[in-house]
Amino acid sequence: MEKEQNQESDKINDLDGKEQSVNSENENQVSIEEVKKDESTTEEKILELEDKLARTFAEMENQRRRFEKEREEAYEYGGFSFAKEALNLIDNLERSKQILQNDDTLKNSEALKKTLEHFEIINKDLISVFSKNNIKPLESLGKKLDPNFHQAMIEIEDDQKEPGIIIQEIQKGFTIKDRLLRPALVGVSKKSVNKDKKNEENKEKLEDK
């Protein structure tokens, strides 16, 4: 009887041992999976951090380039507004010359001649100062109208020139380095209306024949 009880006890112990062994293996398996999961999560975090770091560096580089460009433009074109205002000196000088030239009491006088000579010297000095600061006048007369540099104010009939040729400069235009400071106000040529009508009439007569 005791022998049978001992055998049953041994069987129970064997089963307990096997269960413990299985539980131990399961615990080890769970632990390995958790480690793998942790490693995967760590790699993802590292990749995410690397991506964020790369984006941060890219943004910093873009900001640096923008800053450099703005600094260069401020250095090169910082006097843009001042230069534009300073052009009024040349405009006023030119208006004064025209007023004096149109004054009947001063025409052909020695005083007018000397005054205009002084005005011309001042004008040349102003242009020279502007040129040293990369502010240069546009040469417009005789050239084809360019909307990038010229603004047509009037059309003048001139059958000796092609349409759109600048034949009058109302206000001189200027550039500062590679930028337009202000456009030239100009008058451009156009064909005579009467001549166009005659050409049309002659064409009609030839077609009738």
Query: Domain locations in the chain?
Result: 1-77, 79-133, 136-209
User: Which of 24, 150, 183 shows the shortest CA–CA distance to 32?
Assistant: 24
Order of strands, sheet of 150-157, starting from the edge strand that comes earlier in the sequence: 150-157, 184-190, 166-171
Whether pLDDT at 169 is above 70: yes
Kindly give the interhelix angle for 110-132 and 80-101, rounded to the nearest 10 degrees: 170
Lowest mean pLDDT among 8-22, 76-90, 111-125, 131-145: 8-22
* pLDDT > 80? residue 209: no
pLDDT (mean) for 8-30: 50
Fold of domain 136-209: Nucleotide Exchange Factor Grpe; Chain A, domain 2 (2.30.22)
Residue-wise DSSP of 147-174: TTTEEEEEEEE-TTS-TTBEEEEEE--E
pLDDT at residue 12 tops 50:
no
Q: Which of 85, 84, 93 is nearest to 175 (CA)?
A: 84
